[in-house]
Structure 1
Amino acid sequence: MIEKLLALSFSLFALVGGSNSEKTNDIYLIPEGYEGYVIAFYNVKGAPKIEKEGDYEVHDVNNQGYSVTSTPDMDYGTITDKYYYVDEEGKRNEINKECVKVLSTGSLEIEPDTPNKIEMSYTGMEVTKSQCSQDFMTAGEEIDRDKLDSIVQDITKQYYKSK
């Protein structure tokens, strides 16, 4: 059904190390116990600007596994991100890097040839508690298309009123 509602065009880019001066510097605050895909969407009309802690941009991930910001685009370069589980009181517990698999980044357009055109970019990762290992961390994958479509549909309903 989402294919009928949305005309998506994806272009995927591998997020690889850049020069020493370019770093991603993101902090992901993930609800305690969450496992699965975590996706940060950029350039979402009406979403809050990214908050900063020192040199890091902070993504407050919701229970559905995504965050949104009106900040136009993500940073590219060497991945220097930090990942935390956050409990109900806001206490952070760092997630072991072997429990996080960085996935592809991409962009999408909805209704590309209309005045209602929506453009977003995204980056993602997968978080596990049970499969933590070097193999999990380094296994390259793309974000699951069905999960991505479902989240994009939620975002467009909330921020773009029924696209």
Structure 2
Amino acid sequence: MGDKLSKKVISATFATVSFILLYGIIVGIFSSSKEEMFFIIIIFFFALLGNFIYAIPISFLCDALTKYFTKFRFLMSAILHIFFAWITSLGIFAISCAVLFFLMEEWQKRDKLRHLHKKYIAFNGIVLIIIVVSSVYFSFKWVELTEEKTNDYYLIPKGYVGEITVLYNIKNTPPPKRMGDYKVIEINELGYGMTSLPESEGIIENKYLYIDSNGKKEKINDNCVHIGPSGSISGGDGSEFIFSTIKVTDIGCGDEFISSGRMYLENDSLEIEEILQREGLVGDDW
């Protein structure tokens, strides 16, 4: 038992260090920000906990479940290691650690595997690659299918450019309309809207459309929309108003506008304080 445990400690250490090195190299190539480096420290901490506290017991379980397999022990063990990583919902992070852990486990058994035919080893290797790729793919698909989506349907007056503010959880507003799976948020000529609904959370899959006085709609190019910050503000009487902002433009659309929201025209939109006072949600002396 002591020898088996020491080997699994080696596998856990290898998986943790190798994963962090690989992740660090990828981050170093595509980004060098301080935030990313801090994130690596956090990832290292969770990888360490996962590999020692979760992966080692799971590996003992996999050994017990596959000890009676002979010909397909390698593949069954690989599938089990990856499956138990997949169910953690940590995606490619957990799957990568599981594969590295499993490979080190098998490497430490190499003396017992010398008798295996090269074709058998090559077959196992190819199938392992297929299993890993499939598990990563289905991990992303599972997140895509299960994670909440915002699904807000913005109707913005034709020709409006500038910042748009939406206030949530506002009582005595008209019942919210729906457009299929989307919640309609109507924006007025002054660039703001109010809804009794709470702020949507999840993957942003909103639709933004201009609407003219005749009700004709025109989709706004995604390159002309900047997702701004959300926040809350106190009403002074203990009430709290939750809001979110976006910006739309018809000049200077592109990646820069999507990321920064920099406007090239004068922005006459109202501040959140002005909106609250205009709607009578706070007093004039607030």
Q: TM-score range by the shorter chain?
A: 0.7 to 0.9
Q: Does residue 119 in structure 1 map to residue 240 in structure 2? A: yes
Any residues of structure 2 matched to 1:1-163 within 5 Å, and which?
20=144, 21-71=147-197, 73-111=198-236, 114=237, 117-139=238-260, 147-155=271-279, 157=280, 159=281
Deviation at 1:48, TM superposition (A): 2.1
Residue deviations 1:36-62, cap 9 Å, x none? 111111111211232111110101100
Summarize the Cα distance change of 1:46–1:95 in structure 2 as closer, same or farther, 3 Å threshold: same
Q: Is the 8 A contact 1:43 1:119 kept in 2?
A: no
Provide the residue aligned with 2:83 in structure 1: none
SS in 2 for 1:24: coil
Q: Is the 8 A contact 2:163 2:269 kept in 1?
A: no
SS in 2 for 1:98: helix
Structure 1 consecutive aligned stretches of length 4 or more whose deviation exceeds 4 Å: 159-163
Summarize the Cα distance change of 1:33–1:107 in structure 2 as closer, same or farther, 3 Å threshold: same
The structure with the greater share of residues assigned to strand is 1
Residue deviations 1:107-160, cap 9 Å, x none? 22211xx4xx3222111100101121111011168xx997222122212x2x56
TM-score with structure 2 length normalisation? 0.44
SS in 2 for 1:126: strand
Find the aligned partners of 2:261 and 2:228 in 1 and give their Cα distance.
7
The structure whose Rg is larger is: 2
SS in 2 for 1:39: strand
Q: Which runs of 5+ in 2 are unaligned?
A: 1-142, 263-267
Q: Which runs of 5+ in 1 are unaligned?
A: 1-18
Deviation at 1:65, TM superposition (A): 0.5
Q: Is the 8 A contact 2:232 2:241 kept in 1?
A: yes
Q: Is the 8 A contact 1:48 1:68 kept in 2?
A: no
Find the aligned partners of 2:283 and 2:181 in 1 and give their Cα distance.
34
TM-score with structure 1 length normalisation? 0.75
Residue deviations 1:72-106, cap 9 Å, x none? x1111111000001011000000001111000111
Deviation at 1:161, TM superposition (A): 7.0
Q: Is the 8 A contact 2:150 2:203 kept in 1?
A: yes
Q: CA RMSD in A?
A: 2.3
Amino acid at match of 2:251: S
SS in 1 for 2:271: helix
Q: Is the 8 A contact 2:190 2:269 kept in 1?
A: no
**Length, aligned pairs only:** 136
Identity %: 35
Amino acid at match of 1:80: E
Q: Is the 8 A contact 1:45 1:160 kept in 2?
A: no
